[in-house]
Amino acid sequence: MKKTLGLSWEQALEAVPAALKTEGFGVLTRIDVQATLKEKLGVDFRRYLILGACNPTYAHQALKLRLDVGLMLPCNVVLHEGDDGKSVELSVIDPMQTMASTLGESFVALAGEVRTKLARVMAQL
Protein backbone atom coordinates (compact mmCIF):
# COMPACT_ATOMS: atom_id res chain seq x y z
CA MET A 1 0.00 0.00 0.00
CA LYS A 2 1.59 3.27 -1.13
CA LYS A 3 0.88 6.96 -0.96
CA THR A 4 2.67 10.23 -1.64
CA LEU A 5 2.21 12.48 1.38
CA GLY A 6 1.58 16.19 1.12
CA LEU A 7 3.90 16.75 4.08
CA SER A 8 7.49 17.74 4.62
CA TRP A 9 9.90 15.09 5.90
CA GLU A 10 9.77 16.55 9.41
CA GLN A 11 5.97 16.69 9.38
CA ALA A 12 5.78 13.08 8.17
CA LEU A 13 8.07 11.93 11.00
CA GLU A 14 5.51 13.27 13.46
CA ALA A 15 2.30 12.52 11.59
CA VAL A 16 2.87 8.89 10.69
CA PRO A 17 3.51 7.57 14.24
CA ALA A 18 0.59 9.69 15.49
CA ALA A 19 -1.73 8.22 12.84
CA LEU A 20 -0.55 4.71 13.69
CA LYS A 21 -1.32 5.36 17.34
CA THR A 22 -4.95 6.20 16.54
CA GLU A 23 -5.37 2.62 15.29
CA GLY A 24 -3.60 1.01 18.25
CA PHE A 25 -0.13 0.67 16.70
CA GLY A 26 3.07 1.67 18.43
CA VAL A 27 6.43 2.06 16.77
CA LEU A 28 8.81 -0.53 18.22
CA THR A 29 11.75 0.08 15.92
CA ARG A 30 13.11 2.91 13.79
CA ILE A 31 15.78 2.06 11.25
CA ASP A 32 17.42 5.06 9.63
CA VAL A 33 18.66 3.48 6.42
CA GLN A 34 20.32 6.69 5.22
CA ALA A 35 22.43 6.98 8.39
CA THR A 36 23.24 3.26 8.42
CA LEU A 37 24.45 3.24 4.82
CA LYS A 38 26.55 6.33 5.48
CA GLU A 39 28.09 4.83 8.61
CA LYS A 40 28.67 1.29 7.32
CA LEU A 41 29.47 1.90 3.65
CA GLY A 42 30.30 5.58 3.45
CA VAL A 43 27.64 6.10 0.78
CA ASP A 44 25.07 8.82 0.45
CA PHE A 45 21.45 7.75 0.11
CA ARG A 46 18.09 9.53 0.20
CA ARG A 47 16.25 9.85 3.50
CA TYR A 48 14.74 6.44 4.16
CA LEU A 49 13.20 5.29 7.42
CA ILE A 50 11.72 1.91 8.32
CA LEU A 51 9.26 1.94 11.20
CA GLY A 52 8.38 -1.34 12.87
CA ALA A 53 4.73 -0.83 13.83
CA CYS A 54 2.97 -3.20 16.20
CA ASN A 55 -0.57 -3.51 17.45
CA PRO A 56 -0.12 -5.69 20.55
CA THR A 57 -3.65 -7.11 20.45
CA TYR A 58 -3.29 -8.36 16.89
CA ALA A 59 0.30 -9.50 17.43
CA HIS A 60 -0.86 -11.62 20.37
CA GLN A 61 -3.70 -13.12 18.34
CA ALA A 62 -1.33 -13.95 15.50
CA LEU A 63 1.23 -15.53 17.83
CA LYS A 64 -1.47 -17.71 19.38
CA LEU A 65 -2.32 -18.99 15.90
CA ARG A 66 1.25 -19.72 14.92
CA LEU A 67 4.49 -18.96 16.75
CA ASP A 68 6.61 -18.47 13.67
CA VAL A 69 4.44 -15.53 12.60
CA GLY A 70 7.03 -13.48 14.47
CA LEU A 71 9.04 -13.60 11.24
CA MET A 72 6.48 -11.17 9.83
CA LEU A 73 6.16 -8.93 12.86
CA PRO A 74 6.16 -6.03 13.34
CA CYS A 75 4.35 -4.52 10.36
CA ASN A 76 6.84 -2.46 8.37
CA VAL A 77 6.00 1.12 7.46
CA VAL A 78 8.49 2.89 5.20
CA LEU A 79 8.99 6.60 4.67
CA HIS A 80 11.39 7.73 2.01
CA GLU A 81 12.27 10.83 0.13
CA GLY A 82 10.81 10.93 -3.38
CA ASP A 83 12.90 11.13 -6.52
CA ASP A 84 12.38 14.90 -6.55
CA GLY A 85 14.11 15.22 -3.16
CA LYS A 86 11.09 17.01 -1.72
CA SER A 87 8.12 14.68 -1.63
CA VAL A 88 7.67 11.98 0.99
CA GLU A 89 6.53 8.51 -0.02
CA LEU A 90 4.75 6.23 2.44
CA SER A 91 4.62 2.46 1.98
CA VAL A 92 2.81 0.16 4.36
CA ILE A 93 2.97 -3.62 4.29
CA ASP A 94 -0.24 -5.34 3.24
CA PRO A 95 -0.82 -8.23 5.66
CA MET A 96 -3.19 -9.84 3.18
CA GLN A 97 -0.24 -10.23 0.82
CA THR A 98 2.19 -11.39 3.49
CA MET A 99 0.52 -13.12 6.44
CA ALA A 100 -2.66 -14.38 4.82
CA SER A 101 -1.08 -15.55 1.58
CA THR A 102 1.92 -17.16 3.27
CA LEU A 103 0.47 -18.57 6.48
CA GLY A 104 -2.85 -19.80 5.20
CA GLU A 105 -6.56 -19.63 5.76
CA SER A 106 -6.40 -19.23 9.54
CA PHE A 107 -4.78 -15.83 9.05
CA VAL A 108 -7.18 -14.36 6.50
CA ALA A 109 -9.59 -12.74 8.95
CA LEU A 110 -6.85 -11.43 11.21
CA ALA A 111 -4.79 -10.08 8.32
CA GLY A 112 -7.92 -8.44 6.90
CA GLU A 113 -8.57 -6.62 10.18
CA VAL A 114 -4.97 -5.40 10.39
CA ARG A 115 -5.08 -4.29 6.75
CA THR A 116 -8.25 -2.29 7.43
CA LYS A 117 -6.58 -0.50 10.33
CA LEU A 118 -3.45 0.25 8.31
CA ALA A 119 -5.57 1.53 5.41
CA ARG A 120 -7.32 3.91 7.84
CA VAL A 121 -3.91 5.13 9.00
CA MET A 122 -2.98 5.89 5.40
CA ALA A 123 -6.30 7.67 4.81
CA GLN A 124 -5.52 10.02 7.71
CA LEU A 125 -2.28 11.17 6.12
**How does pLDDT run across 67-125, given as a tens digit for each residue?**
999 998 999 999 999 999 999 999 999 999 988 778 888 889 999 999 999 999 999 99
Strand ranges in the chain using DSSP code E only, listed in sequence order:
2-5, 26-32, 48-54, 75-81, 88-92
- Round to whole Å and give the CA distance between 82 and 19: 21
- Round to whole Å and give the CA distance between 74 and 100: 15
* Cβ-contact 41, 104 below 8 angstroms: no
Inform me whether the pLDDT recorded for 27 exceeds 90: yes
- The pLDDT > 70 percentage for the chain reads 100
Decide: pTM greater than 0.75: yes
Alpha helices in 23-107, H assignment, sequence order: 33-41, 56-65, 101-103
3 state DSSP class of 95:
coil
According to CATH, the superfamily of the domain at 2-124 is TT1751-like domain (3.30.310.70)
